[in-house]
């Protein structure tokens, strides 16, 4: 395997791991039309927003749960 291919799969595997741990993406069973692809895009956007946040030392899963419980934190993540 060449270096570029190895780097690609390394990044892809890290992304998949983060989505699985934080969002349980492998457990999703969305089968209606484009639902799975649409939710995958939304999960990636959410993951990027959570990774950019430096205001708290929680992990991605903790930040996601906090955003669900705290509207002010959610708005802060969304840039409002």
Q: pLDDT tens across 7-39, in order?
A: 666 666 667 777 777 777 656 666 677 877 888
DSSP 26: G
Ranges of each domain in the chain: 3-78
Is this model's pTM higher than 0.85 or not?
A: no
Token pair for residue 49?
């927003």
Region 41-56: mean pLDDT is 89
CB contact at 8 A, 60 and 18: yes
pLDDT value at residue 21: 72
Confidence of residue 66 (pLDDT cuts 50, 70, 90): very high
Helix%, strand%, coil% for the chain, nearest 5 = 75, 0, 25
CA atoms 45, 12, 69, 54: torsion sign = negative
Token pair for residue 15?
């992304």
């Amino acid at each position: 395997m060449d270096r570029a291919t190895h780097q690609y799969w390394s990044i892809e595997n890290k992304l998949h791991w983060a989505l699985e741990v934080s969002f349980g993406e492998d457990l999703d069973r969305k089968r209606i039309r484009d639902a799975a692809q649409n939710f995958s895009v939304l999960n990636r956007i959410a993951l990027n927003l959570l990774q950019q946040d430096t205001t708290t030392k929680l992990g991605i899963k903790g930040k996601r749960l906090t955003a669900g419980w705290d509207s002010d934190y959610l708005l802060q993540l969304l840039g409002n």
